[in-house]
Amino acid sequence: MPVRRSGEFLVFEQAGAFGGALGIESERVQECLDHFLASDYSRLFISRNFGYVGRDLDFLKQLASKVQSIWAWDLKLDSIDGLYACQGLQSLGLNESNRPGIDFSRLPQLEHLYLGWHGNDRHLADQAALVKLHLSEVNPASRSLGDVELPSRCTGAVKFRATNVTSLKGVGGLQGVRRFELNVGSHLIALDGIEQIGGCLERVVVGQCPRLRDLGALRRLPKLMSATINGNAVSL
């Protein structure tokens, strides 16, 4: 994990949407916030592994629109209301599924979303500016994506990691997506339904799905340039 202490504060140095982020530590929350506000930082990371043991994100209310990116993991949260103060938030990584649901209508500027799926999340379909979406632990009781709310648009890449669905039937939204990836789907047997989001799809990557045999839906993707299934390139 590329985290180091720079002076008195923790910094996450990895490149990308969440890199160059300042860490928040429970024992010195106010010091961290003051340093964030007085510096050029616009990104935060929050983790129990690096000193944050709080049960809420209320401290974010002090930072308001200055926060553009938040990466949070290994937390135990009773409230996520502090997120809604961050009206300029463009990138959110929240891998926890053991948390309250998020009302995404209150986070209108998101472009990058990395999320542990939660059945009580609301208004994800309202997201129309996303460029990247990563959803993990997508395990609806019905084993159908028809019961998973997805953004109306995503103009870059979509990735599902660890899901119990048997096909992609019922998938909605995701218009404009160019790359679709699904990893770890032990129940997936067919790609039927992918054509519902496939008008712009150029690349499909599916891995660790040992029961997947039916690839016929790939022929219904008019712009598909390449597909890799369980490590093997598919002839189109």
Summarize pLDDT for 200-213 with one digit per residue, the tens.
999 999 999 999 99
Asked if residue 121 is part of any domain, the answer here is: yes
- Is residue 234 a part of any domain in this protein? yes
**Mean pLDDT lowest for which of 12-16, 190-194, 228-232?**
12-16
Which residues form the domain of 68? 1-100
For residue 26, is it within any domain? yes
The pLDDT assigned to 64 comes to 83
Q: What pLDDT is attached to residue 19? A: 64
Judge if 117 and 223 occupy the same domain.
yes
pLDDT score for 169: 95
What average pLDDT does the segment 65-75 reach? 93
- For residue 16, the model assigns a pLDDT of 62
My answer on whether 226 and 130 are in the same domain is yes
Residue in the structure block whose two tokens are 């067919």: 190
Tell me what the mean pLDDT of segment 164-172 comes to: 94
- pLDDT at res. 174: 94
The tally of domains found in the chain comes to 2
Share of the chain above pLDDT 70, in %: 97
Per-residue pLDDT, 110: 96
For residue 189, being part of any structural domain is answered with: yes
**Residue 187 is assigned to a structural domain of this protein:** yes
Give me the chain's average pLDDT, please: 93
pLDDT for 2 beyond 90: no
pTM, 2 dp: 0.92
- What is the pLDDT averaged over residues 119-124? 95
Question: Which among 71, 100, 129 is the end of a domain?
Answer: 100
pLDDT band at 97 (very low <50, low <70, confident <90, very high): confident
Same domain membership, residue 4 and residue 68: yes
Q: Do residues 89 and 128 share a domain?
A: no
pLDDT band of residue 96 (cuts 50, 70, 90) is confident
Q: Kindly state whether residue 105 falls inside one of the protein's structural domains.
A: no
- For residue 120, the model assigns a pLDDT of 94
Shared domain check, 114 and 56: no
Residues 67 and 175 in one domain: no
Domain's final residue, options 55, 82, 100 = 100
Per-residue pLDDT of 5-62, as tens digits, reads 888 999 987 656 566 899 999 999 999 999 999 999 999 999 999 999 999 999 999 9
Domain identity same for 95 and 118: no
pLDDT tens-place string over residues 133-160: 999 999 999 999 999 999 999 999 999 9
Single out the residue in 100, 129, 148 at which a domain terminates. Answer: 100
* Residue 92 sits in the same domain as residue 207: no
pLDDT at residue 178 above 60? Answer: yes
Residues 65 and 40 placed together within one structural domain of the fold? yes
pLDDT score for 14: 65
